[in-house]
Amino acid sequence: MSLLLSKIITIPSVVDCHVHLRIPGGEHKEDFLTGSRAALAGGISTVLAMPNTNPPLDCEEFFLYAHQKALKEGLCTIKHFVGATDSNTGISRQSNRIATQAAGLKLYINETFGSLRINDEHCIREHVRSWVGRGPVAAHAEQEWVPFLISLADQYKVHIHLCHISHESEIHAIRSAKEQGISITCEVCPHHLFLTEKDAEILGSKARVSPPINQEKDRMALWNNLAYIDCLASDHAPHTLEEKMSDQSPPGFPGLETLLPLGLLAVEQEKLSLERLMHMVSVGPRTIFTLHDPIVQESKTVIELEERGPLSAGGWNTKCDWSPFADKVVPGKILETYVGSRCMYRDGKFLVSSTEEKSTTFGNMEEEDEHTGTKRII
């Protein structure tokens, strides 16, 4: 079935609002060069990176280290969240750089990879109450924690974004909150839409992810309530195959290069319209995370819709080079990915393959105000 009468479409400024690029401390899994190459090959021009690194991005020093290294080494636009701990409440009031440059504050309430986790209600409340950054409070919160965060968003009139929702109870609580006008947004990941319990059994430890692949009733509740879900995000969480096949398999798997193909598969299956997909990967995340930088706004992705074929088992651009969706047949081919006005990827080839080449070919693609973090294309 053809997605549209047009064979080629252009999506403005594709954003993946949930990725893990593993710097600092996990460079054997991914780095800013390999992660940004994976993003470009997947048609993504902007990624928002999570702070559960080693050490975590929970203070201005570590946040700025990652921020500046990404600006130097990444081939796409990379922004970072700052991580919440039990000892850094009010961090956006103490650091103007974090208040103006962070994609948001990330709360890890349920089990995650790394050391960042808070499950003290008073501490969570103080983080929500005191946050004044440009982006929202984003939370890894599951099941009973979702209504609690909704109540805080209502009480303090703070925008809370709920990451990778996966349970029927969560989307029902979010739907109710939205219908009441509470400032709540949320995202869903392709693996929670497409992977079934049977898939998880077949994949074994490779399917371990947090939140986990849930029951069929949860998966169907997500599909049935897509109108209340703001973003489609990959939760790109690369680990080596050796790590995933070990007795202590860490949660997560790569997803930057499969986000748009799986989104297009949902369109082909008439689960959502192409216009709705474009909103979930572009307009939604840009609005939620106040991504108004010219380099973000001017980016675009060109896709050939009539191409289709199986996803590869290897040969990916992500450093860990595997996918839980190997062999799944999907429509669409990424023809070009632009970062700002610059075409960085075309027909399977990177026009800029390294950070040194980026510098010599284009010069600095963007410059940043040292006080506000505002960027402009130069």
Domains contained in the chain, CATH given? 8-377 (3.20.20.140)
Q: What is the pLDDT of residue 372?
A: 45
Q: What is the pLDDT of residue 110?
A: 82
pLDDT digits (tens, 9 = 90+) for 261-291: 999 999 999 999 999 999 999 999 999 999 9
Q: Which two tokens stand for residue 326?
A: 């190997």
Q: What is the pLDDT of residue 366?
A: 52
What is the rounded distance in angstroms from the CA atom of residue 253 to the CA atom of residue 324? 7
252: Cα within 13 Å, side-chain hemisphere: 25
Q: What is the pLDDT of residue 365?
A: 52
pLDDT digits (tens, 9 = 90+) for 44-56: 999 999 999 999 9
pLDDT tens, per residue, the chain with 378 residues: 444 556 999 999 999 999 999 999 999 999 999 999 999 999 999 999 999 999 999 999 999 999 999 999 999 999 999 999 999 999 999 999 999 999 999 999 987 766 788 989 999 999 999 999 999 999 999 999 999 999 999 999 999 999 999 999 999 999 999 999 999 999 999 999 999 999 999 999 999 999 999 999 999 999 999 999 999 999 999 999 999 999 999 999 999 999 999 999 999 999 999 999 999 999 999 999 999 999 999 999 999 999 999 999 999 999 999 999 999 999 999 999 999 999 999 999 999 866 656 655 555 555 455 444 544 443
What is the rounded distance in angstroms from the CA atom of residue 165 to the CA atom of residue 149? 13
Whether 337 and 343 have beta carbons less than 8 Å apart is answered as: yes
Q: What is the pLDDT of residue 115?
A: 73
What is the rounded distance in angstroms from the CA atom of residue 4 to the CA atom of residue 193? 23
What is the rounded distance in angstroms from the CA atom of residue 336 to the CA atom of residue 343? 7
Question: Sign of torsion, CA 80 84 87 89?
Answer: positive
Q: What is the pLDDT of residue 378?
A: 34
Q: What is the pLDDT of residue 290?
A: 97
What is the rounded distance in angstroms from the CA atom of residue 158 to the CA atom of residue 105? 12
What is the rounded distance in angstroms from the CA atom of residue 228 to the CA atom of residue 221? 11
Of 150, 146, 148, nearest to 164 by C-alpha is 146
* Neighbour count for residue 204 (Cβ, 10 Å): 11
Across 181-195, b (16+ Cβ under 10 Å) vs e yields ebbbbbbbbbbbbbb
